[in-house]
Structure 1
Amino acid sequence: MSVDHLSRPGRSPGFTAYYHQRGVAVTDKWLVVHGSRFMIAELHHLERARGPLPSPARSSLYLGLAVMGVAAPVALVFSTPLAWVIAALAAAAALGVMMFSCRRWPASYQMWADYGSRPTLLFETGDGQEFGQVSRALIRAVEHRRRGQLI
């Protein structure tokens, strides 16, 4: 069962589709993410998380911290107004580069769950809006499935 075979809500009487876009589909029975399928009934302990920073952002953070770590002691040793101005400008530039890189290369959004008995990464994206839509759809599907089991 691939995403291409899932119809929009209301077109198929067998299931309810909560989300169906960009290779991801959430129904009351399945989560399909770019060809990988997960049964909703087997998902437990859903968790949202942020992934690690990509290499460019991490590198700029380390470089910025190194610049600030060198600029402050140098300004303290020389203790002249010019040294403090240069240290402040270096720290401001490092901070600007760090902020830019963290916005340009943000950490990914991840949805995890226990599938079977193992922690499993279900879905990952860099788009916060898409992540919100998929995670809400998945939570609705899991809640719907649990309510159906209680009846």
Structure 2
Amino acid sequence: MAAELVTDPAIIEKVLQTVPQRPPFRYIDRILELSEDHIVGQYTYSKDEFFYPGHFPGHPVTPGVILLETMAQTGVVALGIYNAIKNGGSLNQISLFTDAEVEFAAMVLPGDTVTIKSQKIFLRRGKIRSKVDIYKQDGTLAASGTLSGMGVAL
């Protein structure tokens, strides 16, 4: 049985506001779908992101580590926050990345909008593991992997 989709915009907004990362290191603009088991989010990389001038001068490309962070903020942090809200867990935590195995498949360029799709593999003892894919606006797979993280009390 599929988990019920969240339709209340206030809950989606609460999840977004609870994600601890802030600009210039926040890589989730909106949540398109949300349930206990999955999340779909989007982010648009502005042409003036802080990392483009140095990666690579004259030919800017979004660094893989930034794509990984984008995947983690949606697929691990935001999904974990929603599960904490739904199940009465503490929001007085910070989500820490624990491990990842990611393959990169396509370049993401300045101005690109990406869609992040994540499916929860498990959530137990405060650790969440998710299968996360990131797609360019034309549907091209940019990266795919398995990411894990856990909430640590502040």
The two structures share one fold, judged by TM-score above 0.5 = no
TM-score by length of 1: 0.25
TM-score by length of 2: 0.25
Which is richer in strand?
2
Which is richer in helix?
1
Bigger radius of gyration among the two:
1
